[in-house]
Amino acid sequence: MKGNRAALVVVVAIVLVAAGWWLFKRSTRAASIDLIASFETAKKQPDASMFSVGDATLNGETRKAIAVQPTVGTRLTYKVMVPDDAWLRVYVGLKPEAWEKPGDGVLFFFGVSDGRTWDPLFTQVVDPFNNKADRRWIQVMVDLSAYAGEEVDVIFNTRSAQEGKPDNHDNDLALWGTPEIVVR
């Protein structure tokens, strides 16, 4: 009988320690990384004057956004220490002024570089002139957990022309909305 009580006490102690560890681990998770707040420290290519930050409203939804204009092949690079269970959450879209004017849309793409290699993680063409479904913010979630604990460059790119088509910069008014790295 005394042996059963001792075993029960050990099991309860193990459960309490495990529960405490789990709660502590959850409470020490990193907060999200707001990339708009870090905009000034980001590397902007080919020219910083092509980027601006402000509110943008698409289809009635307003977000803080990074506007890229004109979109001739831009790159916005952030150096980030990636937390455990990290995801990039960003919304892409084109300014409403582009919706009714001819153009071929914008190619948005995102990836991670460790300084030696480039890993493309997301690619999407947004073309609200030819595709009315693109007249809104399009949410993108990219899993970054493979880079947990590493300091990497997270790189946002835009290109005006789609693959295999002539370069067309008409009405390329790209927006990266509320980009942030979140922990899930």
Residues 8-51 have pLDDT tens digits of 555 555 655 555 555 555 444 557 999 999 999 999 999 999 99
Please, where are the H alpha helices in the chain? 2-27
DSSP state of 106: E
3-class DSSP assignment, residue 153: strand
Domain 31-183 has CATH 2.60.40.10: no
Answer whether 35's CB lies under 8 Å from 88's CB: no
In the chain, pLDDT over 70 holds for what percent of residues? 80
Residue pLDDT, tens place only, 160-181: 766 667 667 777 889 999 999 9
- The model's pTM: 0.81
Q: Hey, what amino acid is at 181? A: I
Tokens of 42: 């980001």
Please, where are the H alpha helices in 28-111? none
CA–CA separation, 88 and 75 (whole Å) = 16
Q: How many CB atoms lie within 10 A of CB 83?
A: 20
Q: Name 74's bridge partners.
A: 158
Tokens of 92: 């892409």
CA–CA separation, 180 and 182 (whole Å) = 6
Show me where the domains of the chain are located. Answer: 1-30, 31-183
